[in-house]
Amino acid sequence: MKWYLKVLKQYADFTGRARRTEYWMFVLFNMIFAIAAAVLDNLLGLKFTPEIPYGFIYLIYGLATFIPGLAVMVRRLHDVDKSGWWFLISFIPIIGTIWIIVLLATDGTPGTNQYGVNPKENFNEINEIGQKQI
């Protein structure tokens, strides 16, 4: 849950690098909360139409987490020394989706790359989020 909150605190931060743990924990909790929002829409009868299984709560949640999700994906791509624009490869049917998953699951480049220091070298990073740097 700390990793999910870390991504939300870095709402539109497209700079730097993100560990695999940070990205995949965000994806896991994002899916859990999205499913919970869709179920809540169904229970409260807030669906748009009977054919669409979600409604306003799901839509608001999806809009609120779109930018942080995109930002953490870009930071994750930076960790494997790729530009954030590589996320566009996911629009290529089948092969693009497979390739972006491979990139997101690949271990980051060791040491410093053009996007910053290796986040694995900073073992205390999760505790430093939201604190002022002096």
The tens digit of pLDDT for each residue in 25-65 reads: 999 999 999 999 999 998 988 887 878 878 899 999 999 99
DSSP 8-state code for residue 91: G
Tokens, residue 7: 């991504």
pLDDT at position 112 is: 87
pLDDT for 99: 95
* Residue 131 pLDDT class (50, 70, 90 cuts): low
| Residue at 99 is within a domain | yes
Query: 106 lies in a domain?
Result: yes
How many domains are contained in the chain? 1
For residue 72, the enclosing domain spans 2-113
Tell me if 134 is assigned to some domain.
no
Instruction: For tokens 């009977």, name the residue.
Output: 50
- Average pLDDT for 104-132: 77
Q: Is residue 93 part of a domain?
A: yes
Q: Is residue 59 part of a domain?
A: yes
Domain assignment present for 122: no
Q: Are 15 and 31 in contact (CB under 8 A)?
A: no
Query: Is position 132 within any domain?
Result: no
- Answer yes or no: are the C-beta atoms of 69 and 104 closer than 8 Å: no
Within a domain: 119: no
